[in-house]
Chain A
Amino acid sequence: DTEVTQTPKHLVMGMTNKKSLKCEQHMGHRAMYWYKQKAKKPPELMFVYSYEKLSINESVPSRFSPECPNSSLLNLHLHALQPEDSALYLCASSQGQVPYEQYFGPGTRLTVT
């Protein structure tokens, strides 16, 4: 089973709202990732968790806050977003970081109004 699940599939939020995106995998992978993807652009890496610890933060604004409660779950907490943050948010996981292929979830389509 190479499935990564993400909820919700779609999310519309106002600029003053607080919401969370959720990601889950049951493949025993120890690295998990958040990416942001705008239309017709490649995914941009935001955060990497390795063994439940944040190992890479690609200078992402503080209005995005990641959390890894356990090895199977990854959350992305959103607060005071801007319209330009509207995008497809992808979660991925891999066995480790070096250099293992990543398996992606279907994404959450986020619209900020």
Chain B
Amino acid sequence: EDQVTQSPEALRLQEGESSSLNCSYTVSGLRGLFWYRQDPGKGPEFLFTLYSAGEEKEKERLKATLTKKESFLHITAPKPEDSATYLCAVQNTGNQFYFGTGTSLTVIP
């Protein structure tokens, strides 16, 4: 059964303290892995798409990487405005989407 697991569930960082969020996946055939950011009461905001192992993408303080079993979202020198829930999702070859349960990130000034 296709599955997406994110860890940790919650993460508190001091401003400037770099860290990584993990997304482990089991999927019959990977079409794409997506990272989203979601603020409370709002729709998810697209961040990155990764298609194959070894791929990396960067945007400001965020960098996403992909292996055959997991993806990492690295946050470098985070700021309080980076506080949000970060969601990982995979699309399989049957075009079904599966979201992970998310990591709630809090960055303390």
Interface residues of A (CB under 8 A from B): 2, 4, 33, 41-45, 48, 55-56, 88, 90, 92, 97-107, 109
Contacts and interface: CB of A to CB of B under 8 A. Distances in A.
Interface of B: 31-32, 34, 36, 41-46, 49, 51, 87, 89, 91, 95-97, 99-102
Given A92-B43, A102-B34, 13 more contacts: A4-B43, A33-B97, A42-B102, A43-B99, A56-B95, A88-B41, A90-B44, A97-B95, A98-B31, A99-B32, A104-B44, A104-B45, A107-B42
16 contacts: A41-B101, A42-B87, A42-B99, A45-B97, A55-B95, A56-B96, A98-B31, A98-B91, A99-B31, A99-B91, A100-B49, A101-B49, A102-B34, A102-B46, A104-B45, A106-B43
A25 B78 CA distance: 32
Contacts of B101: 41-42
Nearest to B45: A104
A99 B49 contact: yes
A44 B101 CA distance: 10
A112 B100 CA distance: 26
A98 B95 contact: yes
Contacts, number: 55
Contact of B43 (A42, A45, A48, A107): A107
Nearest to B102: A42
Contact of A105 (B43, B87, B91): B43
A107 B89 CA distance: 18
B77 to A, nearest CB: 26
A104 B43 contact: yes
A11 B41 CA distance: 14
